[in-house]
Structure 1
């Protein structure tokens, strides 16, 4: 099986990447799977692409192998596209999914426009070559409260367009067919296949 390192320690993302890449015959490894201590990458970018690039290039330079990284988050129209790149730390520096989604619900209290989207920017860094970028989005709206037990992050309050259930209520296979991450991976498919042949 072909192998690809994904620069994340987020187990929810790792599981999604594994599910999505397995159909391409690609085995996915996260930073949690590596014995070598990895450099810490501070996400100082102002866009999803910049943060994904920082992570992918730092780890690719360190390991001297191709590395894929993503930066993703939630954009809520009524909140001026916040939380955006600050999605993981929206409620404070300590990453806390529950507090983050509660803050979004609080800020939307009484607001009718609940349009939102998940955004995923992927960066594929290959030592000695130019980094490749792709972006995927999934349009939807924010629920009035949390529903469902699956998924992670803002999944319990995000209802994808055309559905009445949140991402956290849908089976992972169904979510993974339409998610922002799967759409970005589909865009990246040819590049990944090329470097892993």
Structure 2
């Protein structure tokens, strides 16, 4: 039996650390690159729009209108700009350990959901907002009941209607409608090329 000395068999700890760090960086870069690819297909990602420019776009829009843009703060990648009952507001998206989530106060952070992609994050809050709006408007008897006032003088953030940077194609709008209608695209009697197009953006917003 041959024995190797620990010097020759063990990779130095600093080297192992740097290899792990390199893998994490590669993973982060590929995850962020995939997020940007997905965002580029949405039509409501505005890229390097400033906060003031976003405010001007949203200022006359109804509550719940939103867009997504690059964050102007170095520690964040993206920001959601949305119209609330108190006017336009901005909410940063945090990226940490391979996941995206909304930035918020420290006490709320553990409760916030985390997502593999930015579009999935936006989709979640859009569906949540639309469900909330439907339930509020189904009270019957004419006017919908008012939403309960959020605590501490804050405003409720709704995200229901995206602002498109350019008019989306009819194909893209159809793709969203089909994905809303079924989660079984592969079972549809369609050519494989069309199925690939539908699954290339399998979101509802």
Tell me the TM-score normalized by structure 2.
0.23
Q: Which has the larger radius of gyration?
A: 2
| Richer in strand (by share) | 1
